[in-house]
Structure 1
Amino acid sequence: MATNPNQVTEDGYVQPVVDVPALTRLLDGEHAALRDKVRAALVEHAGLLVDADEMDRDEFRDRVRDAVVEMAGTGLTASHFPTEYGGGGDFGATVAAFETTAFGDLSALVKIGVQFGLFGGAVLNLGTKRHHDAHLADIAAGRLLGCFAMTETGHGSNVQAIGTTATYDVATGEFVIETPDDSARKDYIGNAARHGTMAAVFAQLVVGGPDGQPQNHGVHCLLVPIRDEAGEPMPGVRIRDCGHKMGLNGVDNGRLWFDGVRVPREALLNRFADVSADGVYSSEIESANRRFFTMLGTLVMGRVSVAGAGISASKVALTVATRYADRRRQFTTDDDQPELLLLDYGQHQRRLFPLLARTYALHFAQDGLRRHFDDVFSGRATSEQVRRDLESKAAGIKALGTWHATRTIQECREACGGAGYLTANRFTALKADTDVFTTFEGDNHVLLQLVAKGLLTDYSSEFGDMSQFELVKFVAGMAVDQVVERTMAHRLIERLRDVLPGDDKWNQESGLLDPTYHLDMLRFREEHMVAGAAKRLKRGIDAGLPAGEVFSRVQDHVIATANAHVERLMLESFIAVFATLPHGDNRVALGLLCDLFALTTIEADRGWFMEHNRLTGNRSKAITREINDLCRKLRPLAVDLVDAFGIPDELLRAEELLTWQ
């Protein structure tokens, strides 16, 4: 419980007092006990955060491996595996553990993600019982370290076009894995350079057709040994270290080539497709595109987890910067008075508190995403609609969450001045290690296009089989009214039909702190953008332009639409949590943060709202004044609000920032 008593300001405002342990329990949610176990395990390995700067690369990598294997022994890293293989059958618990692990060394976090989420997830979700029995227990215990070999030098996001091939040889009952050229080499593969002994290799599956001619059945995944027991590359496997990186140098990223490597037919992860001994390909999913998207959809845990990791890294940065600003003094307004604390300056509040509010909003959206993920992968929710919705939310929150981390860490570093630039104070590692979050598990711009596709087609059955260019033609063939009718925009438009352009009647119907007003603003922006994107696509096709050019011209609009959609989801998640809270000081504190997130989101896009007659100049100025007032009200609560994240001091690694007097 915070020690400051309730205070009443001159205008009668009663300053709330944050119950920090209760707020931590709210943030930790249903997996609070698990998160506490992870915190304790991280403290045991907190030396990694300090020693990483002193060790050479191989020593650092081996220390990270040892930490990962030790954590595997606690059962905290593979909770999503079935109980018979050493897990707990709880997908949500694995995501919660991963989010919390991001408070510690991020090389260890990423290696955990590669080993148990990507490699282990491929075996679990794409394989069948024969693969589970052979490998899952060893993967869960860290005895079998593996790689997720999807990305190629020439193909990152466009997985369907990868060049690696797996050709079935009916005479021997083996698949032959081949890297045709350097653009098809597997690149940036975690665990490949030093520790991995097996790889889940994604390749074009080539099997003889009915006429005896080779037929490409698209991308499938096979398990391929890459090292022998002595740690030497297997015959036909070439391995090269990717070398020093901007960050995450405790992860042994490497490149893989396969020169006629043979693996048995059973190496194919055959949940969705199989090849018989005599070379007959079969799958219950007839469409190659739908089969591909179904396969990738089972691997969505990576995006869900990276989103949570980015948000957790933001929490670390904000905790350090806020605590520092509550200790560090600079300048005075009166020679007889002590210098002011940084956090007492309005501009410093403006720098940190909107980021804090957005972090809380992202946390609640991520928590909803984690529950959604658990429902789908536990089998409680099975409809195609629910699965598509999960994939879209995972893509959107991952994009906005990791961009937020990059922005927040930079702002917090600057807010700590020169002290924030010292390697000893964690920001060096935070900046370097999270920078790649914006591009791995999907480039953020590509992910937002995925979100927009779903919005434009309302997750219609046609969506799963479409490329982006086919989508353009599909939307252009729809009546634009059909797109609008699926949204809430038409309802808002009906409500506004009697409001003349430029009139601020609509804006004045609600107070600035009315959550209905906040939601209406963000919903109107989203749905107006959806309809506008559809109109632009149709107009381009009607003008006879090629689909690719039409899509290129509309990309900025598409990405803005997806961004608006995710911000609306974030606000809805925040308001939903707020509505469940009992009356009391914590409810008041979260209400201030929720209002701040909503108003700063509107303020950041005030130009759009003004262009579309949803905001007047006077109303815009009033929003800015209200934001400044919210920041002043949050000032006495700020340290408690970051302490509620529950990050152990040992993991902040900011002694010089936080311990000096």
Structure 2
Amino acid sequence: MASDPLQDQHIDVPALRDLLDGRYRDVRNRVRDNLVEHASILDEAETLSTDDYRDRVRDVVVELAGTGQTGYGLPKEYGGGGDIGASVAAFETSAFGDLSVLVKLGVQFGLFGGAVLQLGTERHHKKYMADITSGALLGCFAMTETGHGSNVQALGTYATYDKETQEFVLQTQDDSARKDYIGNAARHGTMAAVFAQLVVDGENHGVHALLAPLRDDKGKVVDGVRIEDCGHKHGLNGVDNGRIWFEGLRVPRENLLNKYADVDEDGTYHSPIDNPDRRFFTMLGTLVQGRVCVGGGAINASKVALKIAVTYGNRRRQFGPKDSETEIVLLDYGMHQRRLIPLIARTYALHFAQERVSADLHRIFSDVDGASERRRKALESRAAATKSLGTWAALDTIQRSREACGGAGYLSVNRFSALYDDVDVFTTFEGDNTVLLQLVAKGRLTDLAAEFNSLNQVDMVGYVAGLAVETVVERTQMRSLLERLRDAVPGRGGLSDEDAGLLDPDWHLSMLRWREDHLTSGAARRLKSGMDGGTAPEEVFSRVQPHIIAAARSHGERLFYEAFLTKVQNTPEGTNKRALGALCDLYALSLIEGDRAWFMEHGRLSGDRSKAVQAAVEELCRQLRPHAEDLVDAFGVPPELLRTELF
């Protein structure tokens, strides 16, 4: 490899921190200051009883609401800031602090407040938004049920309209239809946005959302509602998760969140979206902000772990040369560099990928340039990829960081156990990661065709099996994909794998794109082959599912690399750009190295080239080692929030 471009160079940490904080650096700094004011909760989480801890979390949430940091994304006329991008930035940064506070913030202002804002109309906004923004009205987002998991369309809670009283009657059909794992339900919530099958005059119009009371002004559960505490959890025990049964609860007709559908006094149902499946997915699509926030929160929590582990690795000494009393710091060992520095590179990549999806969310939901349905679907897909891969990466980063701190990292005082336990559930709420990757793959398989979004798994198999392309548009899309595959095959023109420089971004991109296209087309071929062979659609989908997930993962990793590369290219010349460039190279080569068996199986890496990739990863780790602590300092985690005795 070329000589070290970072030798004798110094990272400008404040400038790099400003780059990471982006356009919302003032928002992020405000959140940091507020979190430091409440840093004691990190200790209280381990000393208070469960009830007292929950109440302390509630108090912090309400106090933060009083600073204005929680309402950035809510309307200005109701005390908010009217800026969704600022809201996401504030939420992400809040992950530096107690994660029970973070999740309760998300439930109250993102999920409950977001449902009222995005699914309701002026009558709901005027009545509830000011109190939601201030924290005076604490609410729940009651979608998940015990028996249906991610299959929201099959919910077993029913809201049946009674014309005589102009009320909806909420009924839980059986225990499998109880609302489960609902944040704010067990102790503090007084109202819930309830998702239920809407029945009018005996006709089921599908899942809609209604506002339902849970408790009166004295905190007593209202008649027609039964609530049970979910009990002690693996983590996040400052959040009062509960189970809810509705037993004939009556709510006024006006409580239907009616942006996409309404019921008149006489029981006439009407909606601007005729297709019930399209209406359902449109309603769910407006709630994508929660998914974006969860991904960003997990990524920022992993920065805390990396800051602790890298700083410790730069302080802790162990062993040394023979006949010398000087011991070597851990980070000077090649294997320790290998453990941590690629994690820094991946975290930077995920940060910039999250920055991209947050910017897309802001543009689309601020309606800056008239978002098309295609762009909204693209946002949903990107958000699903970033959330799923970002939360998995966060767990991996926290675990590896803990191991890099040895037995000391296992002590609760050093925060790793709380980080891991609390982040663990991020992989399954706001969408199970594996299910989300199926959504990503579905979008890729159909080039985000709008009509495909309404299909279930069985219909999806049939649709893909029919890609014997019946329209000019479909033929053009398929031909484009096949041409990309053809041009990427070694020996058929294009970039030669053996000749390309290991640090050439074009080579990195060609490898990641080729893998993505190959896996995607392979999944489509398997689906078609299974259907052509007469296998039942459910069985076809089950067999091909691992290939679908692999294709989606490869798509996400390519997007993350492109986001990182774009940021590097747009960074002013200097040491920071060179450091970011080396991190970006390390991220790309780590992806290729991590999947080099697959690349070798498919003729994209020779044995010698594979060894060269491994050597390049090790060399980049060596080059970046002197700057590792600066790179994690740029995350801007306040020292008061590290809560560690390691240094």
Q: Shorter-chain TM-score category? A: over 0.9
2:635 matched to 1:645? yes
Cα distance in 2 for residues equivalent to 1:367 and 1:511:
29
Give the % identical residues: 62
Report the alpha carbon displacement of residue 343 of structure 1 after superposing the two structures with TM. Answer: 0.4
SS of the residue corresponding to residue 54 of structure 1 reads coil
Task: Quote the residue 2:536 is aligned against.
Answer: 546
Task: Quote the residue 1:35 is aligned against.
Answer: 28
CA offsets per residue over residues 405-437 of structure 1, 9 Å max, x none?
A: 111101111110111011100011101100000
- One-letter identity of the residue aligned with 1:398: K
Cα distance in 2 for residues equivalent to 1:583 and 1:416:
35
Report the alpha carbon displacement of residue 95 of structure 1 after superposing the two structures with TM. Answer: 0.3
- One-letter identity of the residue aligned with 1:221: A
Indicate how the Cα distance of structure 1 residues 199 and 526 shifts in structure 2: closer, same or farther if over 3 A, else same: same
Task: Quote the residue 1:494 is aligned against.
Answer: 487
SS of the residue corresponding to residue 508 of structure 1 reads coil
Is the contact made by 2:6 and 2:578 (CA closer than 8 Å) also made in structure 1?
no
CA offsets per residue over residues 6-28 of structure 1, 9 Å max, x none?
A: xxx99787342100000000000
Cα distance in 1 for residues equivalent to 2:480 and 2:520:
8
Map 1:5-404; keep pairs closer than 5 Å. Answer: 14-208=7-201, 214-380=202-368, 381-404=370-393
SS of the residue corresponding to residue 250 of structure 1 reads coil
Indicate how the Cα distance of structure 1 residues 471 and 486 shifts in structure 2: closer, same or farther if over 3 A, else same: farther
Cα distance in 2 for residues equivalent to 1:483 and 1:92:
36
Report the alpha carbon displacement of residue 392 of structure 1 after superposing the two structures with TM. Answer: 0.3
Cα distance in 2 for residues equivalent to 1:539 and 1:371:
40
- One-letter identity of the residue aligned with 1:519: L
Report the alpha carbon displacement of residue 333 of structure 1 after superposing the two structures with TM. Answer: 2.4
Report the alpha carbon displacement of residue 207 of structure 1 after superposing the two structures with TM. Answer: 0.5
Cα distance in 2 for residues equivalent to 1:27 and 1:180:
49
Task: Quote the residue 1:211 is aligned against.
Answer: none
CA offsets per residue over residues 200-240 of structure 1, 9 Å max, x none?
A: 000000001xxxxx011000000000000110001111111
CA offsets per residue over residues 114-157 of structure 1, 9 Å max, x none?
A: 00000000000000000000000000000000000000111221
Is the contact made by 2:319 and 2:328 (CA closer than 8 Å) also made in structure 1?
yes
Task: Quote the residue 1:579 is aligned against.
Answer: 569
SS of the residue corresponding to residue 419 of structure 2 reads helix
Gapped regions of structure 2 (runs ≥ 5): none
Cα distance in 1 for residues equivalent to 2:352 and 2:437:
20
Report the alpha carbon displacement of residue 485 of structure 1 after superposing the two structures with TM. Answer: 3.1
Task: Quote the residue 1:534 is aligned against.
Answer: 524
CA offsets per residue over residues 336-363 of structure 1, 9 Å max, x none?
A: 1411111001111111111110000000
Cα distance in 2 for residues equivalent to 1:308 and 1:334:
46
Task: Quote the residue 1:6 is aligned against.
Answer: none
Gapped regions of structure 1 (runs ≥ 5): 1-8, 209-213
SS of the residue corresponding to residue 459 of structure 1 reads coil
SS of the residue corresponding to residue 234 of structure 2 reads coil
Cα distance in 2 for residues equivalent to 1:643 and 1:497:
42
Cα distance in 2 for residues equivalent to 1:505 and 1:488:
18
Is the contact made by 2:486 and 2:492 (CA closer than 8 Å) also made in structure 1?
no
Report the alpha carbon displacement of residue 612 of structure 1 after superposing the two structures with TM. Answer: 1.1
CA offsets per residue over residues 549-587 of structure 1, 9 Å max, x none?
A: 111010000000000000000000011000011111001
Report the alpha carbon displacement of residue 505 of structure 1 after superposing the two structures with TM. Answer: 8.2
Is the contact made by 2:304 and 2:637 (CA closer than 8 Å) also made in structure 1?
yes
Is the contact made by 2:4 and 2:623 (CA closer than 8 Å) also made in structure 1?
no
Task: Quote the residue 1:596 is aligned against.
Answer: 586
Map 1:437-448; keep pairs closer than 5 Å. Answer: 437-448=426-437
Is the contact made by 2:502 and 2:613 (CA closer than 8 Å) also made in structure 1?
yes
Cα distance in 1 for residues equivalent to 2:359 and 2:269:
36
Is the contact made by 2:495 and 2:507 (CA closer than 8 Å) also made in structure 1?
no
Indicate how the Cα distance of structure 1 residues 487 and 554 shifts in structure 2: closer, same or farther if over 3 A, else same: farther
Indicate how the Cα distance of structure 1 residues 393 and 584 shifts in structure 2: closer, same or farther if over 3 A, else same: same
2:509 matched to 1:519? yes
Indicate how the Cα distance of structure 1 residues 406 and 539 shifts in structure 2: closer, same or farther if over 3 A, else same: same
- One-letter identity of the residue aligned with 2:430: E
Report the alpha carbon displacement of residue 464 of structure 1 after superposing the two structures with TM. Answer: 2.2
Paired residues, number: 641
TM score, norm. by length of structure 2: 0.97
SS of the residue corresponding to residue 165 of structure 1 reads strand
Is the contact made by 2:490 and 2:496 (CA closer than 8 Å) also made in structure 1?
no
CA offsets per residue over residues 234-261 of structure 1, 9 Å max, x none?
A: 1111111111111101000111111000
Report the alpha carbon displacement of residue 80 of structure 1 after superposing the two structures with TM. Answer: 1.1
2:456 matched to 1:467? yes
- One-letter identity of the residue aligned with 1:622: A
TM score, norm. by length of structure 1: 0.95
Cα distance in 2 for residues equivalent to 1:483 and 1:448:
26
Report the alpha carbon displacement of residue 627 of structure 1 after superposing the two structures with TM. Answer: 0.5
SS of the residue corresponding to residue 507 of structure 1 reads coil
Cα distance in 1 for residues equivalent to 2:208 and 2:632:
44
Cα distance in 1 for residues equivalent to 2:577 and 2:118:
40
- One-letter identity of the residue aligned with 2:209: C
Report the alpha carbon displacement of residue 468 of structure 1 after superposing the two structures with TM. Answer: 1.8
SS of the residue corresponding to residue 209 of structure 2 reads strand
- One-letter identity of the residue aligned with 1:478: L
- One-letter identity of the residue aligned with 1:444: N
Task: Quote the residue 2:604 is aligned against.
Answer: 614
Cα distance in 2 for residues equivalent to 1:387 and 1:559:
22
Cα distance in 2 for residues equivalent to 1:194 and 1:486:
57
Indicate how the Cα distance of structure 1 residues 171 and 628 shifts in structure 2: closer, same or farther if over 3 A, else same: same
- One-letter identity of the residue aligned with 2:548: V
- One-letter identity of the residue aligned with 2:589: L
Is the contact made by 2:6 and 2:575 (CA closer than 8 Å) also made in structure 1?
no
